[in-house]
Amino acid sequence: MLCRSEARWGRSMHCAGGVAARCCDLALVASCAVLLAACARSTPDDAGNPDEWPHYGGDAGGSRYSSIDQIDAGNVSRLAVAWTFSTGDVSHDPGQEAQGPCGSCHTGDVKFEATPIVADGRLLVSTPLNRIIALDPATGRELWRFDPRVRLDMDRNEGFVSRGVAWWKGPGEAGTLCAQRVFLGTIEARLHAVDAATGQPCPDFGDGGTVRLDVGVGRVEDGQYGVTSPPVIVRDVVVVGSSLGDNRRVDMERGSVRGFDVRSGRLLWAWDPIPRSASDPMYASWSVEAAAVTGGANAWAPMSADVARDLVFVPTGSAAPDYFGGQRPGDNRYANSVVALRATTGEVAWHFQVVHHDVWDYDVAAQPTLVTVTRDGATVPAVVVATKQGFLFVLHRETGTPLFPVEERPVPQSTVPGEVLSPTQPFPVLPEPLHPFGIAPEDAFGLTDADRAACRALLAGLDWRGMYTPPGFDGNLMYPGYAGGINWGGVAIDEHRRWAVMNVMRLPFQVRLHRRTDPGRGNQLGTPYEMTRSMIASPSGLPCSPPPWSTLVAVDLDTGEKRWEVPLGRMPALVRAGVPGVERMGSPSIGGPLVTAGGLVFIGAAMDDVLRAFDIETGRELWQGPLPAGGQATPMTYRIGGRQYVVIAAGGHGSLGTTRGDYLVAFALPPQ
């Protein structure tokens, strides 16, 4: 690590001496000068106020942990709704499916996945329609809103979604316009900077407060390129990724990650996860032709940062297209990886690839999570990479070296003409996989004999030769599926116990390749094959996989051992039908957990429109709070006026079919 600071990753770097004293190697002088200059420009405190929640993941490292302990196992049963706020994105009139601003949305897939932040006394949240709204965190009263007016009449491959905003505080005097800034990347590929106090655009940032992101990334199709996750900020650099409409063509938009000056909006650097130059050491993992034209491998998921080490941790997706890679031979690095970039320059510090030559859509969907673990009595800075396959890779944060053994194991090979897969894939020895591999036909689930028979027949007709069985003409079983496993909800860290907590979804999918009949139509253009994919379900619509369909899991990161695992959620239809044992079946889940020093894990995510609290020690469910719509988001917490609040977005999710809405709901203990 260049110019290491004594500061812990979650604290600010002390530039007066701490860095300079370590710049003793002449080979590091230039790099140290960059860091020292950055320190001179501003001195943000990454740790911030422990009563606030200034980052999407709580802190820059994405721990989703709060040291507030007012709410605990002894009083959580007394939690009640403190306030509810409606953003106005979706109408709540009975019988009206999509009125209000989204009455004209071309797609009904509006997903309120945001986690609010609380910084300097304001709660800041983004909505699916890319509005930024500031609220009084004690009352839910609106203070201001910013509306970039994205087009609602356009088909958007990924729907309408925004997971959050980023906040920056400069050294300027309080009250100065844009001394504090809120940054939002939009589904229309714009990066907006607004004043945190008023919501007014920052006139010195880009063009009147806006920077265009749809330039320098190749040919951009309408509605197919934008941003869905919050930027990450390291000192005076705001870093942003992108979301692409999957599976359209080989030469999709580039998945560039870019760093901009927080004040001027000037582009400081751009990094392409597909190496285009022979000077890049990973260029050899591509053919010359593929490296020149292949798109994707973008970082659509949330990123994290180690401010003291000047590192941004970038989770990358698969290279285009997702399910056939014959035109892109090789491992395709830096796709399907966590990549540590120097925040000031965009240079690669290290990378770790979790899937070689992906044809399963196994993006790294979870935010890389920074944690300190113990090895042989010493503390080690680590990053946890959770995957759709249900793997946890625990890596040294400064080098990317695995802290538990990782084995390259032989995997099934493709029978599709033109496809050449990697002969092996990486499997962590510890922690053990959190998702089962494959489903034997005799283990198929069904509420009735007819359902079970139908599921058995479906499973028996699919190709399954073990984990990483590739797509083919007869269809393959994907279990874990391309939705996870562990998706963008990621993991939460109990910093005291050094445990990771996450929800793991268990749904079976199939993917089929079809020989192309029209070279100019269909998906995966530029390849010989189109694809279709679907969940494997019974005639009644339930998954063919045995329940539970989601679990909540705790893993000890010091030892790699699973501490506990419990079903998460309930299927409303099964509850209404009085199906016995429904509490053990769980439900599909989208969202993530929050861990607090009160010994609690909070999570929504499931299909039954509730927020739950679990005992961190045992996994026992302690409390449920009803929500007005689906809680397919990640909760957060803060304390103001001596009172702790837990807040979650409740807006439903088109993919799960949960109750729609546009609410923020805050829970708290009754006032003293």
541-544, long-range: CB within 8 Å, 24+ apart, which pairs? 542/445, 542/446, 542/447, 542/451, 542/571, 543/445, 543/506, 543/507, 543/508, 543/588, 544/439, 544/444, 544/445, 544/446, 544/455, 544/458, 544/459, 544/508
What one-letter code names the amino acid at 621?
E
Measure the CA–CA gap between 360 and 324, rounded to whole angstroms.
Answer: 9
**Of these residues, 59, 89, 195, 361, which one is catalytic?**
361
Structure tokens at 379: 């503390």
Q: Are 366 and 489 in contact (CB under 8 A)?
A: yes
- Region for residue 96 given its phi and psi (left: phi exceeds 0; alpha: psi -120 to 50; beta: otherwise): beta
| Euclidean distance between CA atoms 639 and 649, whole angstroms | 18
d(CA 31, CA 67): 34
Which two tokens mark 463? 């190709």
**String of b and e for 199-214 (b: at least 16 CB within 10 Å)?**
bebbeebbeebbbebe
Beta bridge partners of 351: 339
- The DSSP line for 482-527 is TT-SS-TT-EEEETTTTEEEEEEE---EEEEEEE-S-TTSSSSBTS
Q: Name residues whose C-beta falls within 8 Å of residue 310's C-beta, 6 or more positions apart in sequence.
A: 2, 35, 38, 234, 342, 343, 344
Burial of 535 from C-beta contacts in 10 A (0-12 / 13-18 / 19+): middle
Structural contact between residues 220 and 243, judged by C-beta atoms closer than 8 angstroms: no
* 361: annotated active-site residue: yes
Spatial strand order of the sheet with 142-146 comes to 117-119, 122-126, 132-135, 142-146
Give the whole-angstrom CA distance, residue 526 versus residue 173: 55
Q: In what order do the strands lie in the sheet with 369-375?
A: 369-375, 378-386, 392-396
Distance CA 102, CA 644 (A): 33
SS (H, E, C) 302-356: CCEEECCCCEEEEECCCECCCCCCCCCCCCCCCCCEEEEEECCCCCEEEEEECCC
How is 17-33 classified by DSSP, letter by letter?
IIIGGG--SGGGHHHHH
| Integer CA distances (angstroms), 141 to 8, 87, 101, 137, in order | 36, 11, 21, 8
Helix (H, G, I), strand (E, B) or coil at 458: helix
Is 14 exposed, middle or buried (CB count within 10 Å of its CB: 0-12, 13-18, 19+)?
middle
- Give SS3 for 130: coil
Going from the C-alpha of 584 to that of each of 567, 579, 592, 661, the distances in angstroms are: 6, 11, 20, 28
Contact 335, 258 (CB under 8 A): no
Instruction: Return d(Cα 190, Cα 198) in angstroms, integer.
Output: 20
Give catalytic residue positions: 361
